[in-house]
Structure 1
Amino acid sequence: MTRTVHPIEQESFRILRSRLDTSALPHLHRAVLERVIHSSADLAYTDDLVADEAELTAAQAALHAGAPIVADVAMVAAGITARRAVCRLGDAVASPGLTRSAHAIRLAYEQVGPGALWVIGCAPTALEELLVLDAAPALVIGLPVGFVGAAESKAHLRASGLPAVSNISEKGGSAVAAAALNALLYTPAAAHDRKENDL
């Protein structure tokens, strides 16, 4: 998609690239990593983010073909700026053995069915619930944050074999999860010679 890039964003990416050389990374992996770092000012994601270029390419194709986007919380949905994301947290209720976030994932799956892109940036229980559904996702961006269950849920995601973007540590959050999805929306599908303002 074509978008107008604000000068502050251009300068942010210029500074990022002056501190970190990402030029050797595959096209979409580079785009996702840079946008995650841009959203967090955390260069440590360089060694923490886990993604596969072939999975990102397939997910981007599904996204541009109109696959639904599901967000675990409203902050993630609000951060996805070029497409509307489904978020059912407002309709969800907690029950014994099921958090509100996990119930929201069930409700969203009932609404969108298989083939969606799932963007989870808040609740590890939302990610764990997605992993027990037969959701056949186009991609799971699993970047929940926290000291309880976040790193473990992301390890479970990587072990599941589902196409995914995740990270190894406990950090994550709504901003970085939305940024990873936005990278797939903003980045041209074909590799090209990248200029400083290709954001």
Structure 2
Amino acid sequence: MNRVVHPIEEESFRRLRARLDTSPFPPLTRAVVERVIHSAADLEYASDLVMDEADLVRAHAALHAGAPVVVDVEMVAAGITRRETVCRLRDAVAGPGLTRSAHAVRLAHAQVGPGALWVIGCAPTALEELLALDASPALVIGLPVGFVGAAESKAALRESGLPAVSNVSEKGGSAVAAAALNALLYHPAPDGTPSGKPEETL
């Protein structure tokens, strides 16, 4: 079943494109840029986001083939309405030199193994822990927010060479991280079928 787009969303994207020409971006990059901007009403993301179209194409194929989606916090999960996600934060505990978010990443990695899509929108320590693991992800959407560690963890993600969506600045957050994943979910698979369950409302 195709996703039903609310008229308010259609008008929002029309206004976005009237203010910003996104046509030079390749298809999946454009989809991610537009949906992130739409989620935050922040046009600066057009120049702040960093991604590679070839990575997105491979991640899109993995996602539509049923690859697991792992999130760092429930707020990210709440924004992803068309796919079940894995979040182990409730099971995690902090320890010496280990935050709950980092422990949750360890638990999730043990559960899903390689090939997952990781969506990190809150905790820089979650992203740092993921980079320390041999996770072999299909994609890392690394968009944690904050003045401590956020920009640095995203820079480390880009330096890692892993397939990724990140941004240069300190901004980010659960809503924009979920939006980046949703852009790949909403973009049709090569056979024209949508991914995940139909969405009831915006």
Q: Give the TM-score taking structure 1 as reference length.
A: 0.94
CA contact (8 A) 1:57 1:189 kept: no
Aligned-residue sequence identity (percent) comes to 80
In structure 2, the partner of 1:156 is 156
In 1, Cα distance between equivalents of 2:189 and 2:49: 21
**Partner in structure 1 of residue 195 of structure 2:** none
The number of equivalent residue pairs is 191
SS at match of 1:66: coil
Q: State whether structure 2 residue 117 is matched by structure 1 residue 117.
A: yes
Q: Which residue of 1 aligns with 2:73?
A: 73
Could you list the runs of 5+ residues in structure 1 that have no partner in the other structure?
193-199
**One-letter code aligned to 1:74:** E
Q: Shift of residue 83 of structure 1?
A: 0.2
Counterpart-to-counterpart distance in 1, 2:12 and 2:2 = 19
The separation in 1 between residues aligned to 2:18 and 2:40, in whole angstroms, is 16
Residue 58 of structure 2 is matched in structure 1 by 58
1:34 — aligned with what? 34
Q: CA offset at residue 24 of structure 1?
A: 1.1
Deviation at 1:188, TM superposition (A): 2.1
In structure 2, how many angstroms separate the alpha carbons of the residues matched to 1:76 and 1:2? Answer: 23
Structure 1 CA distance, aligned partners of 2:67 and 2:29?
A: 20
Q: How far apart, in 1, do the equivalents of 2:189 and 2:32 lie?
A: 13
> Runs of 5+ in structure 2 lacking a partner?
193-202
The equivalent residue for 1:142 is 142
Aligned residue in 2 for 1:132: 132
Tell me how far apart the structure 2 counterparts of residues 30 and 37 of structure 1 sit (CA, whole Å).
10
Matched, 1:98 2:98: yes
- Secondary structure of the 1:126 match is helix
Q: Residue 43 of structure 1: SS of its match in structure 2?
A: coil
The alpha carbon displacement at 1:189 in A equals: 3.9
Conservation of the 8 A alpha-carbon contact between 2:144 and 2:172: yes
CA distance in 2, matches of 1:169, 1:65: 32
Code of the aligned partner of 1:65? A
Which amino acid is 2:58 matched to?
A
Contact persistence 1:140–1:164 (CA under 8 A): yes
